[in-house]
Amino acid sequence: MAELAKTSEAVHRDYTGAKIGMWLFLFTEILLFGGLFLVYAVYRTKHQADFHTAAAELSVAIGAANTMILLTSSLTMALAIAAIRRSAKTASIVFQSLTILFAVIFLVNKYFEWGAKIGHGLYPNSPELLAQSHGTILFYGLYYVMTGLHALHVLIGIGLLLTMLILTVRDRITNTDFVKLENSGLYWHLVDIVWIYLFPLLYLIT
Amino acid sequence: METNFYTYSGKHRGILAWILSTDHKRIGLLYLSSMFTFFLAGATLGILMRLELIAPGPTIMTAQTYNAVFTLHGVIMIFLFIIPGIPAALGNFMLPLQIGARDVAFPRLNLLSWWFFITGGLIALTSLFTGGGPPDTGWTFYVPYSIRTGTNVSLALFGVFLLGLSSTLTGLNFVTTIHRMRAPGMTWFRLPLFQWSLYATGWVQLLATPILGITLLLVIIERFFGVGFFDPAKGGDPLLFEHLFWIYSHPAVYIMILPAMGAVSEIIPAFARRTIFGYKAIAYSSLAIALVGYLVWGHHMFTSGMSDASRVVFSLLTFLVAIPSGVKVFNWVASLYRGSIQTDAPMLFTLGFIFLFSIGGLTGLINGALSVNIHIHGTHFIVAHFHYTMFGGTAFAFFAALHYWFPKMFGRMYREGLARVAWFIIFIGFNTLYFPMFVLGWQGMPRRYYDYLPQFQTGNIISTIGSWILVSGLLLMLFNLVRSISKGEKVGDNPWGATTLEWKTSSPPPHNNFAEIPTVTTGPYVFK
């Protein structure tokens, strides 16, 4: 390894570099959501009471279920990396597939949740919503935009994890070269942790 | 060893060998050529704007066209020229060479960044000719107008979003590269100062650009779905948009100026033939600018409606951020003391930079003072200040660096005499164009207006004449550079006798940059 580090080939095997890059990328993701959290903080301060009553309309049960699902998926993700480290390829493939499965279930739940709200006429710019107070309009705006942007990240995560799954099956991710999987895991944990903040801010503030 | 990166044959042929290349040098040149194409478009819009203002009343275009023209001039110059500017073009080319690396940390991501850049740029230009007509909001896209106007704002915003992504990824790449890929012996305090400025810029790109991303997305969402975040009728607050926008866009001016300061810090030692004065002070002041510059955005909003307490704090921070810039200026000037100064074109542009940037910086303090700001807010004074920092500052340093590194990039020299003449014309034209704007603004002529009162005509005529002088100088400079790419005189690997690492390899450099990675034993500016 020491000799390899001197050649240009080593450039593409710089694990620390790859990790630094990934962490920097996660900073940018946090700031992307940070903009929304700022909007949330401003409007929540202005419309305390409206936010409380509006949040009561959301289903804590579905939200809690989705929280459990995402947390479990973070566990399976970590197990997938642990498995590849000890060369347990099959176990890693199973855990990666489970992670993807949980992500899909999360999105299905989200679909029904949004569907029900839209069925009740509660969506941005709907006549139903515009008849309500300013705070309620903003709360639902934030609800859709924040969970929407998060869902988009889950979707991207599914694509990313599918790629990793294929790479693992084809032995391109192995116990000596798994930084791609590790970085995908970091991304997945970020998606998870954003939800950990969204859940109380949107569902539990009643 | 004889092949350089132009003659190196990779996987692809023809144009593909460029637009699919992961070689940082080729990517740098891709940026350079696309950027100057956009620059010429932006300059054309600028000269049309000046022509319209040569006399009161309608001259060559309608008011609506004028609104579109100043919007596009801003969008193109800011997002397509000056933000990617020095880091993406020259930074890409020089960063690995200066730290003794073979490439950046993530070469493919680097290429992807260029693709985001060119796609974003083309989308922004497409918005001119499609939909409800060219955007007319000003480059700041202020709500509520940007939500209500029927022009093609959404597409332009999406283009700018992609440009932001490109800028973020470039920053990520550079920060990682400087952390991980320095040659043996290249400690942090042996880094050339250009690298310090790229490093500080990289962090600003990383930490500020995502805020712009989400803000622009929110405006797009607002236009399509009417969520109401910025619409007072639905409880939203337009001021919140201004805050979010400037949280990015003020640090963005440091994205523009920091690499310029870095380039100048390279040129001064090379042309004064002595080491830079106050190396550490210059390095740390780059970081200080990046840090404090993050916290001064409110000074764009002194008249928008903010509490007195916040205005005082933002004003104070604005004064503070001038200190590290001042530190740099004093260090540059001190570096010249007792040097054997050569006034070749790069040095002339650099001296022009110091002079013009000082005017730009000091007028920035005038803007930053609360009471005066009320008087000059939204006037041509701001336009003048901004162009003195961004054009007189960043663009002059960009031109300086372009001349300085020209023999490095192409192995040939531009015509020195022609370059000096071009510099002189640009310098005269620049001041004729922008200085009257200080006066006009002070007298109360608002910016972004298509028409003005008759008493402002003299200043406007002078300014418009300046625009013609400036553009002829720019064309002469570009002509000189472009023709010298193929016809310039061949010069050796290090025509300036500069000391930093990029001059230790052949010019133009081989595909792998260095036959053998050098070991660094001294600081960057040791002249024997």
The ipTM, to two decimals, is: 0.92
Tokens of B297: 């955005």
Measure the CA–CA gap between B367 and B244, rounded to whole angstroms.
21
Q: By three-state DSSP, how is residue A57 classified?
A: coil
Measure the CA–CA gap between B162 and B158, rounded to whole angstroms.
6
Q: Say which of A24, A137, A149 has its CB closest to residue B176.
A: A24
Say which residue the tokens 């003072």 belong to: B369
Q: Best interface-test mutation with A: which of B234, B297, B517 has the largest number of A CBs within 10 A?
A: B234
The answer, for B143 touching chain A at a CB cutoff of 8 Å, is no
Contact at CB, B172 and A28, closer than 8 angstroms: yes
Cβ atoms < 10 Å from Cβ of A186: 16
Write down the pLDDT at residue A137: 96
pLDDT surpasses 60 at A156: yes
Q: Say which of A11, A35, A133 has its CB closest to residue B215.
A: A35
Residues of chain A in contact with residue B517, where contact means CB-CB under 8 angstroms, are: 6
pLDDT surpasses 90 at A88: yes
Q: Which residues contact B409 (CB under 8 A, 6 or more apart)?
A: B25, B28, B29, B93, B507, B508
Half-sphere exposure of A66 (CA within 13 A, CB side): 31
Contact at CB, B227 and A141, closer than 8 angstroms: yes
- Give me the residue spans of the domains in chain A: 36-203
The answer, for B99 touching chain A at a CB cutoff of 8 Å, is no
Write down the pLDDT at residue A12: 52
Write down the pLDDT at residue B2: 56
pLDDT averages per 10-residue partition of chain B, 528 residues: 78 88 95 95 96 94 93 94 94 96 95 97 90 90 91 94 96 97 95 96 95 96 94 93 94 95 96 95 94 93 92 95 95 94 96 97 95 94 96 96 96 96 98 97 94 95 97 97 95 94 94 93 90
Measure the CA–CA gap between A3 and B462, rounded to whole angstroms.
65
pLDDT surpasses 80 at A7: no
Tokens of B1: 């060893």
Contact at CB, A6 and B175, closer than 8 angstroms: no
Chain A: give the shortest CA distance to residue B157, in Å: 16
The answer, for B213 touching chain A at a CB cutoff of 8 Å, is yes
Helical H runs in chain A?
A: 15-46, 48-55, 60-85, 89-119, 127-130, 134-169, 179-203
The answer, for B215 touching chain A at a CB cutoff of 8 Å, is yes
Contact at CB, A34 and B211, closer than 8 angstroms: yes
The answer, for B176 touching chain A at a CB cutoff of 8 Å, is yes
Closest CA to A198 of A154, A137, A132: A154
Closest CA to B43 of B426, B389, B382: B426
Q: Facing residues of B379 across strands?
A: B446
Write down the pLDDT at residue B13: 84
Contact predicate B515/B27, CB 8 Å: no
Contact at CB, A32 and B214, closer than 8 angstroms: yes
Cβ atoms < 10 Å from Cβ of B18: 14
- DSSP letter at B76 equals I
Say which residue the tokens 């599918």 belong to: A162
Q: Facing residues of B412 across strands?
A: B490
Measure the CA–CA gap between B305 and A58, rounded to whole angstroms.
35
pLDDT surpasses 60 at A91: yes
Chain B: give the shortest CA distance to residue A90, in Å: 30
Measure the CA–CA gap between B70 and B48, rounded to whole angstroms.
10
- DSSP letter at B490 equals E
Domains of chain B plus CATH, in order, are: 63-270+491-528 (1.20.210.10)
Q: How many angstroms from the chain centroid is the CA of residue B155?
A: 23
Residue of chain A with shortest Cα separation from B183: A6
Residues of chain B in contact with residue A31, where contact means CB-CB under 8 angstroms, are: 207, 210-211
- Between the two ends of chain A, the Cα-to-Cα distance in Å is 57
Per-residue b or e along B304-335, where b marks 16 or more CB atoms closer than 10 Å to that residue's CB: eebeeeebeebbebbeebbebbebbbebbeeb
**What topology is assigned to A36-203 in CATH?**
Four Helix Bundle (Hemerythrin (Met), subunit A) (1.20.120)
Contact at CB, A39 and B213, closer than 8 angstroms: no
Q: Say which of B175, B214, B236 has its CB closest to residue A36.
A: B214
Q: Say which of A14, A38, A135 has its CB closest to residue B180.
A: A14
Measure the CA–CA gap between B396 and B195, rounded to whole angstroms.
19
Residues of chain A in contact with residue B226, where contact means CB-CB under 8 angstroms, are: 124-125
Cβ atoms < 10 Å from Cβ of A93: 17
- DSSP letter at B412 equals E
Measure the CA–CA gap between B207 and B266, rounded to whole angstroms.
26
Q: Best interface-test mutation with A: which of B112, B214, B246, B512 has the largest number of A CBs within 10 A?
A: B214
The answer, for B22 touching chain A at a CB cutoff of 8 Å, is no
Contact predicate B257/B389, CB 8 Å: yes
Interface list for chain A against chain B, based on CB atoms closer than 8 Å: 6, 8, 11, 14, 16-17, 20-21, 24-25, 27-29, 31-36, 38-39, 42-43, 46-47, 124-125, 130, 133-135, 137-138, 141-142, 144-145, 149
Contact at CB, B240 and A144, closer than 8 angstroms: no
Q: Say which of B228, B244, B512 has its CB closest to residue A35.
A: B244
Q: Say which of B172, B226, B235 has its CB closest to residue A25.
A: B172
Q: Best interface-test mutation with B: which of A7, A8, A19, A28 has the largest number of B CBs within 10 A?
A: A28
